[in-house]
Structure 1
Amino acid sequence: MPAPSAVTRPAPANDADDAAALHRLILSSLDDDQAVDTVSIPLEGKSSIADHMVIASGRSTRQVASMANKLAERIKAELGRTTRIEGLPTADWVLIDAGDVIVHLFRPEVRSFYNLERMWAFGEAPEPAPPPGPAPH
């Protein structure tokens, strides 16, 4: 799957609070849609592509596509940000570029084949995503 081009990539948030709000919204949306094995890999200071990479699975192509569509709609409705989505027609692996957070949604078999967690963990085991909750004070 080709990476989104730099020209059409969504703009990053203006500050760390916006990026944190986007990250929380994504985790909350995936939790609401019963995503499986959601992990969040912090990229800040390790890569310039985003602050976080979130990886999750759906049980079927239908669930993966539904989660991707709902997530893009929530980001637009609640934060006023557009996203770039690739892979939606087949929904085996859907990439959602939200600027500060990159989301990969997979069917389980496809996820285990590509094993992005291992590739992006920078020698550290990725941690399960924290449960969505209120913003820290």
Structure 2
Amino acid sequence: MAWLLYFLAAVALFVVIAVLWRFFTLRSQGYPVVVRRLPNSDGRHWRHGILKYSGQAAKFYKLRSLRPASDVVLTRLGTSIVSRRDITPRESAFLEDHVHVVEVVHRSTHWEIALDSSGDTALVSWLESAPSERRIPRH
């Protein structure tokens, strides 16, 4: 019976270490955003997390996830901005006042990303720095 307690304690310790590792490593490397997949009703299914940009992809890591990999991947050439809007009164209950919502489409899947103006600038810069499809060599 004692071995079961040791095993459960080891599993709990592993989970705590994994959560802390994910939180502290990603927090310092990405941009805080709130994301949801569309269609969704007003104020539903928003997920807090970090958006981490790399050369060809923006990876979203949910705040409350234990996955070592990203939860959503947006490729640069497959993503475009559709629209921007202010947050709704219902969304203002859990989103900060200075954020707005950017709708993006990635390969026919629509997403909304709530971020501030600096985050919007970072997203636009990342998308615009992609090479034109005409300049990509085809083999």
Tell me the TM-score normalised to structure 1 length: 0.26
Q: Which has the larger radius of gyration?
A: 2
Structure having greater relative contact order (Cα 8 Å, sep ≥ 6):
1
Which is richer in strand?
2
